[in-house]
Amino acid sequence: MSIEIANESGVGVDEGSIVSAARFALDRMGVSPLAELSVLLVELDVMADLHERWMDLPGPTDVMAFPMDELDSARRPDAAGLGPALLGDIVLCPAFAKDQAKKAGHGLLDELHLLTVHGVLHLLGYDHAEPAEEREMFTLQNRILADFRKARDEAERLTVQRAADDKVLGAVGLDEDPPTGPIATQPDA
């Protein structure tokens, strides 16, 4: 799965973690590993311009999703196919998301993970214009985020455990590679 990310926002964020959230969501939704996605982080004024131009709404917003127009409408981007599916672009605005994160009581990166998953779902055809659609999309979004956090926390736990194990093994001399070369043996009696 190809996920390109470009940070033009001026805000330092863990881009790899955002890519991981996108990849996790795409995997969870069964999207082909040949799919391609672009994630762009922008400044407030750029997002405001996009928001007004494409949604006819004033001011910036947190996330926008732009599905690829060239997709064959008979073939969903998450359907198995012969070639790569160009899903589209997700545009995030970290400066806008920072205020939302504060109001929600979590960090900016958690908010960007949420917005990334939200954008992925939009690219896959989910919407929240109607109450039933909103329930479906947000339930799915929350489930994917909870599973992502659980998987991330488990990976971090294993990394910490591996480092502790390596330290103990090193202290008792078991971290070295086995000796190479001839091994001295006792002659047969």
- Asked if residue 149 lies in contact with residue 120, where contact means CB atoms within 8 angstroms, the answer is no
Contact in structure between 97 and 108 (CB atoms under 8 Å): yes
Calculate the average pLDDT of the chain.
Answer: 86
Give this prediction's pTM.
Answer: 0.79
Q: Environment class of residue 21 by beta-carbon count within 10 Å: exposed (0-12), middle (13-18) or buried (19+)?
A: buried
Phi, psi at 91, each rounded to 5°: -115, 125
- Written as six digits, the tokens of 6 are 């470009």
Q: Give tens-digit pLDDT for 87-118.
A: 999 999 999 999 999 999 999 999 999 999 99
